[in-house]
Structure 1
Amino acid sequence: MKATIKVQGAQLTVAEGDIVFVNRFKGSNAGDVVEIKDVLMAGEGADVKFGSPVIEGAVVKAKILENKRGDKVVIIKKKRRQGYERRQGHRQELSVLKIESIKA
């Protein structure tokens, strides 16, 4: 069974057993189970349910495998012929989720 969920500001289409990267859940640790109730679509083939905007009573359970930081993104600002150049780095805080069950 597949489901389209809204989690941490992003929409993802997931199936049971998938591993996905999302923005970090505050106050969460590795091994915690998260219930995602913003399920926009669930099912496969002729047995598909669509929500408006979400399906009532639908829940996707995911286990947090680890919390980590993403790859570094370097931001460079430069104005030519002015001697102005700035560099700044950023690493996004991420949670790695494994989808355990989809109930619609």
Structure 2
Amino acid sequence: MYAIVTTGGKQYKVAKGDIFDVEKLDAQPGDKVKLDVLMLNDGKKTVVDAATLAKKKVTCEVLDQFKGEKVLVFKLKKRKRYHRTKGHRQNLTKLQVTSMPTTRTAAKSASTEEAAE
């Protein structure tokens, strides 16, 4: 079972217990963070209905705040004697997935919405 979640303008494929790095979030280590779900899959059934998944969240625990590896940016204009080297280290947050919604609960809420219409 896995889910596609979004944070920081990027999408991540996660499963329960996974540890992954995302763009920096305003949270301290030990805090719980809820991420928006774009898709749920349990191996047999896939749920992609935006209205159903709007209520579903993946809960993650913040493990660490850290800086990523250094990325070097080198600028050069040949024959002009111009060259610059700069470095950048992105602030990141390490998350661990603690709980995920199931496709059954997502499917039940979708079927009750269809029945109500």
TM-score after normalising by structure 1: 0.90
Q: CA deviation at 1:11?
A: 0.5
Larger Rg: 2
SS of equivalent residue, structure 2 residue 83: strand
Q: CA deviation at 1:59?
A: 1.1
Q: 2:46 aligns with which of 26, 45, 48?
A: 48
How many residue pairs get aligned? The number is 102
Which position in structure 2 is the counterpart of 1:77?
75
1:1-104 matches, within 5 Å, as 1-26=1-26, 28-36=27-35, 38-52=36-50, 55-104=53-102
For the 8 Å contact 1:65–1:98, the answer to whether it is kept is yes
Higher relative strand content? 1
Q: CA deviation at 1:49?
A: 1.1
User: Aligned Cα RMSD in Å?
Assistant: 1.5
Identity %: 34
For the 8 Å contact 1:39–1:51, the answer to whether it is kept is no
Q: Which runs of 5+ in 2 are unaligned?
A: 103-117
1:34 counterpart letter in structure 2: V
1:37-71 Cα deviation digits (max 9, x unpaired): x2111131223211337713211000010000000
Query: Which structure 1 residue ranges, 4+ long, deviate > 4 Å from structure 2?
Result: none
Measure the CA separation in 1 of the matches of 2:93 and 2:15. Answer: 17
- The answer to which of 41-50 and 15-24 deviates more is 41-50
For the 8 Å contact 1:42–1:50, the answer to whether it is kept is yes
